[in-house]
C-alpha cells in the first residue's frame, strides 16, 4: 500500500500550514506510520520564504525544526499528487474547490473537521498577534494531526 499523502493549506504558507505539516509528521512518526506530508498556500507572495519566525519558535518548543521548510503556492498537480488536501480555514477551502480540476483525486476538507466538535472551524491565524496566538495555533493543528493519525490507524 502506498504511503498516504497529505497537503496542508493556508493563505501564505508561513504560519499555520507549516505548523500543521510539522504536527502531522510528528504524530505519524510517533505512531510508526509512514506518510507523505507537505504544505502550501493559496497565495504565492511568500513563495521561497522560511516559515514565520514565530512558527519556527513554537515548533522548536515542541522539539521540531521547521526552519528548512519553504513556502510555496498550491499547484494544479497537487490535486492528483495528494490523497488529502486539508484547508486551515473555510475561505482557503472555498479557494481550493474553485481551482481544483474536475478529475483531481484529492479529498478536500477543513483540517479541524477531523476533530469531533470542531467541524467547520478555522484554525486561528496568528500572523497579526503575539506568541500566544502561535501556541494556540500549535494546539489546534496538533489536535487535528493526532485525529488524522488515529483515522489512519483505524483504516489499516
Catalytic residues: 10, 16, 125
Whose cell is 473555510? That residue is 90
In angstroms, the CA 67 to CA 128 distance is: 20
In the three-class reduction of DSSP (H, G, I as helix; E, B as strand; rest coil), residue 2 is classed as coil
Strand ranges in the chain using DSSP code E only, listed in sequence order: 5-10, 36-41, 84-87, 107-110
User: Half-sphere exposure of residue 85, counting CA atoms within 13 Å on the CB side?
Assistant: 28
Amino acid at each position: 500500500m502506498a504511503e498516504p499523502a497529505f497537503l496542508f493549506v493556508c493563505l501564505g504558507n508561513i504560519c499555520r500550514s507549516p505548523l500543521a505539516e510539522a504536527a502531522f509528521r510528528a504524530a505519524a512518526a510517533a505512531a510508526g506510520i509512514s506518510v507523505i506530508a507537505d504544505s502550501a498556500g493559496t497565495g504565492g507572495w511568500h513563495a521561497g520564504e522560511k516559515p514565520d519566525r514565530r512558527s519556527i519558535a513554537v515548533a522548536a518548543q515542541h522539539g521540531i525544526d521547521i526552519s528548512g521548510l519553504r513556502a510555496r503556492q498550491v499547484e494544479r498537480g497537487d490535486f492528483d499528487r495528494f490523497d488529502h488536501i486539508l484547508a486551515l480555514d473555510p475561505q482557503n477551502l472555498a479557494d481550493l474547490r474553485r481551482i481544483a480540476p474536475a478529475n483531481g483525486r484529492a479529498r478536500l476538507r477543513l483540517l479541524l473537521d477531523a476533530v469531533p466538535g470542531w467541524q467547520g472551524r478555522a484554525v486561528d491565524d496568528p500572523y497579526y498577534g503575539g506568541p500566544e496566538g502561535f501556541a494556540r495555533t500549535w494546539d489546534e493543528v496538533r489536535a487535528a494531526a493526532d485525529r488524522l493519525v488515529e483515522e489512519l490507524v483505524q483504516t489499516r
